[in-house]
Chains A and B, each alone.
Chain A
Amino acid sequence: MDDASLVAGLQRGDAEAVEYVVQQYAPALYRFAYYQLQDAVTAEDLVSEVMVRMIGRIDSFVPGQATFQAWLFRIMRNLITDHYRARGRRPQVSLEQWLDAEPAKEPGCNDAELDTMLDREQLAEGLAALTDEQRQVILLHVVEGWELPQVAELLDRSLASVKSAYYRGIQSLRRALARNADPDDGWS
């Protein structure tokens, strides 16, 4: 179903369109929220809220200006920002910044653990060490498969800036995963 048909269906209140949008987008929105918040209940609540807001504002969506998917994720980003604001912003010192301050604590190169499949908690902990932008770029580009120009548009950044965030984010994530995989390497 293309965006125009989907939006027209939602404007009419079609059950089929509602079913489609939930099945198609709720899982990705949930992953995105979960990795930002690390809280399954809140992530589910925010997905619900995205859907309700989407329904309430469906007349304001203009097909062609942005994809419907990008619009949903923009709503989710705003909700996550509001959530942080309501509960007090979490520390924004990324692993990369922390390493810049204490370069002697650079983890070793023993990263055999990374060759095994990451589980959810490992990845969530690793992603938590990144900046919001790095985390969102990785989630959208690597996990959800968005093209980098799409990510740049959603985040209101240049493509070069997003590529840089992606590169640095993966670097930092690798460090964080290596650190978390071996607590005896001087990181604790």
Chain B
Amino acid sequence: MLERNTQIEEVFSAAWQKVVAGRSIESVLSEYPQYAAALEPLLRTAEGVRAAQHPRLSPDALARIHERTRAGASARAQAREKAEQQRGNTPIPFPRPPSQRVTRLPNFSWLLPRTATARAAVLLLLLVAVGLVAAVVAITRQGGGPTTQLETYSGVITKISATDLWLGDTQILIDNATVIHGKPELGAEMVCIGQPLPGERMKALEVWVHNGPAPPTAAPTPEQGWVVDIKKTALSGLFDVRN
């Protein structure tokens, strides 16, 4: 029956280690005379397993595995790079250096109310507060004005379109400060101010073009203008421009 014999199990493990280390089976058996009869067939079986002709990957199979792994690594690296650019962050090394390690936040659960009703009330208050904050933010943005650092772009208009109001990737966010005067013309120089968004590369630009002699208004509407593409001198890329 299946009885545990830990002594022979220990001896067998130790004896095999000596065989692996280079000793002959006969030499090892001489160390365990009382177990030799039981050990010998087991050690010879283990030796037979170790020396067996084991299956091997063919060079073609290894090449296929390598190719699939390489493709996976490449796709992962591209996805990671894109994600980092979108975040506008430099990659965080792993494991993180001590200065960037996340520390456990203190537990403030003792401040929370104990009853379900009180918890529901707190939750409701939180939702109302979040809604108010969102509304204030929206109103502030409607009022115009740059919210983050703006950059100046200049280029030559190379294409004008009346239909495609928003082309390509939205790589640059334009706020109300991005206004140019007059009807855009092919070959004309254009200067605009925009807020670049983190992305793979800057290749699209949305620009409000003020139509008419009046100075730019604070909040031009999309119906006022045209869609133009400009050749941006600095970045050598096509920009989709909406007026």
Contacts and interface: CB of A to CB of B under 8 A. Distances in A.
B61 interface: yes
Contacts of B44: 114-115
Interface string A9-33: 0111101001101110011001100
Interface stretch (B69-77, B131-139, B144-152, B182-190): B69-77
Interface in A167-183: 167-168, 170-171, 173-174, 177
A47 interface: yes
A142 B46 contact: yes
Interface in A113-152: 114-115, 117-120, 122-123, 138, 142-143, 145, 148
Interface residues of A, number: 57
Contact of B68 (A34, A52, A174): A52
Nearest to A97: B2
B61 A44 contact: yes
A145 B49 contact: no
B9 A118 contact: no
A13 B46 contact: no
Given A18-B70, A148-B13, A177 B45 contact: yes
B42 A18 contact: no
Contacts of B65: 22, 26, 44, 47-48, 51
Interface size class of B (residues with CB under 8 A): 35 or more
B9 A48 contact: no
Given A12-B77, A170-B45, A55 B52 contact: no
Interface in B39-60: 41-42, 44-46, 48-57
Contacts of B6: 160, 163-164
A73 interface: no
Contacts of A106: none
B73 A13 contact: yes
Nearest to B48: A118
B contacts with A: majority SS? helix
B84 to A, nearest CB: 12
B118 interface: no
Given A22-B65, A148-B13, A31 B54 contact: yes
Interface string B59-101: 0011011101110111011001000000000000011000000
B10 interface: yes
Contacts of A48: 64-65, 68-69
Interface in B1-23: 1-2, 4-6, 8-10, 12-13, 16, 20
Interface of B: 1-2, 4-6, 8-10, 12-13, 16, 20, 41-42, 44-46, 48-57, 61-62, 64-66, 68-70, 72-74, 76-77, 80, 94-95
Q: List 7 A-B pairs, minimum CB-CB distance, nearest first.
A: A13-B77, A118-B52, A51-B69, A55-B72, A167-B9, A174-B45, A34-B55
8 contacts: A11-B94, A18-B73, A23-B66, A27-B56, A51-B68, A52-B72, A163-B9, A170-B46
Given A44-B65, A118-B49, A170-B42, 12 more contacts: A11-B94, A12-B77, A19-B66, A48-B69, A52-B69, A56-B76, A100-B2, A114-B48, A123-B52, A164-B6, A166-B12, A167-B8
